[in-house]
Each structure stands twice: as structure tokens, then as C-alpha cells.
Amino acid sequence: MPEGDVLRRTAARLDQALAGRVLTRSELRWPTVATFDLVGRTVLRTAPYGKHLLTRFDDGLTLHTHLRMEGSWRIERTGTPGARAGGQQVRAVLGGETWTAIGDRLGMVDVVATRDEHTLIGHLGPDLLADDFPGPGLTEALRRWALRGAQPVCDVLLDQEVVAGIGTIWMAESLFARRLWPWTSADRVDASAVLTTARTLMGRSAAAFATSRPSHSVAELSRQVHGRHRQQCRRCGTPIDVGTARKPPQERPVFYCPTCQHV
């Protein structure tokens, strides 16, 4: 599932293509919003929040999208074959005079009044990559973290109601960076240090994406543990192992080094 760093990059690309421009094409291929026509509205910006995107318009409406596991937004020059947006996987099309944004395999599509965005994301914890996270955002995240008690730290990091934006990649990479066994009780670790590390790693990834080719993959960013099962740890040489976070049906893989992150 795309994580907060990828959503930041996606929002930036949508803004480059559409912010400040009037829509000349609008197709929402989603049953609950198929009747909404956004043509004629001006895009103000697309704001990322955790794993969510909020595309705001000048008339007080917001298009909310979530990429889920496989979703993405791509940009095509209006009038080119790629901008035709054919195919059964296209869920949304927003077109301007110069650029057309196409949402493929989106997992959520909603249209709400901008003032009502909280009905969709209000339950989430602070956005880890938000500008206010080192201040009020971190304070609120720590409060929510404390409420999780002795839950495994890997589970708490994946809990979007504690902090929004972290998924399996940056959960694993952050715990490796802190040399923490993933199933350590959350109330026994320095939560501030873990969250600050996660923010730093994700921020670096977002910055790398911003300067990379559109096809650049997270896999090229030298992961230390995630997705490296049985490969040697870059730090100590021990084969990377994989376990499980959370309980069914929400279980997720956790990659870790048994030596660097021992109990």
C-alpha cells in the first residue's frame, strides 16, 4: 500500500498539473459519486493527509481519494492517447486545458463539502509528515500512543488512529533504525524517538521521489529490511526474517534482523 511519502509526491504532481486551473473534463467512475460533474470548477490544491488525498475546489467541494493497495494517479497531456483514460481500472478523470489526471485502481472516491472533510479523516491521528508534527502533532500522537499500552510497537505504528501515513515499509525501516524488536511493548519504548525516526526516513523518501523519474520505485531507495527476506542484513550479515503484525484479517508482514533487533 502506498504510504505517506508516496502520497506527498502524488499530491505535488497533481498540483503541478491542476492547481489554479479550471476543469474542462470530469469523470468519476464510482457508483456513489458518478453523478457529480466538476467541470467549470477551479482546483485550489490537493492536500495529502496520511494515506488520503483531498483535492479542493473553489466552490467549497473536496474530492477525496484513497489509493488502497494498488491505486495511483498519473498525469497525461490533454489530447494525447494516454489521456483518453480508457479501461476498466480507471476510477476518476480530472482534465484541464493542458494536463489530465487519471486515477487508476483507486480504493475510495468521495465528494464532500470541504468543511466536512473531518467526516472522512477526522478519526485519524496526526499526519506524520505535516508541518506541525514536531510540535502539536507529535504531542497528540504521543497521547494516542500512550493509550495503546502494551500493544506491540509494530502494531501501534501501523495504527492510523495513532499517527497517519506509516505502513509496513516505514514501520519496519524505523524499527530497524532504532534497533527495536518489532513486538516490544509500545509502553517500553521511546515513542518520540521512534516517531521522529519514521518522520525523518519518510521525509527523505518523499524528497528523493520529488527529484526522481515518475517511474522511480521505493524499492530503489536502499531499504534495510523491508522486502529482503533471507537476504543478508546490511549491518551485521544475518539473514533478514519476517514475522506478522496485527491480527487477522488485518495482519501485515514485518521484516526485521534477528541480530540487530533482538528481544
Catalytic residue among 3, 27, 76, 173: 3
Whether residue 252 lies in the annotated active site? yes
Catalytic residue among 2, 48, 126, 182: 2
Residue 84: partners with Cβ closer than 8 Å, 6 or more residues away: none
Catalytic residue among 9, 41, 51, 223: 51
| Cα pseudo-dihedral 55, 135, 51, 160, rounded to 10 | -140
Q: What angle do CA 157, 160, 164 make, to 5 degrees?
A: 90
Catalytic residue among 29, 234, 246, 252: 252
Whether residue 13 lies in the annotated active site? no
The one-character DSSP state at 238 is P
Whether residue 3 lies in the annotated active site? yes
User: 233 vs 174, 186, 222, 239, CA distance in Å?
Assistant: 15, 24, 12, 6
> What SS3 state is found at 28?
strand
Position of cell 483518453?
84
Extract the runs of DSSP E, i.e. beta strands, from the chain.
Answer: 25-28, 43-49, 52-57, 61-66, 72-77, 90-95, 99-104, 108-113, 241-245, 252-256
Beta bridge partners of 110: 64
Q: What φ, ψ does residue 53 adopt, rounded to 5°?
A: -125, 135
**Residue 228's closest CA among 258, 263, 199?**
258
Note if the bond before 249 is cis, omega within 30 degrees: yes
Whether residue 140 lies in the annotated active site? no
Residue type, position 233, single letter: C
d(CA 251, CA 246): 5
Residues with a catalytic annotation lie at 2-3, 51, 252
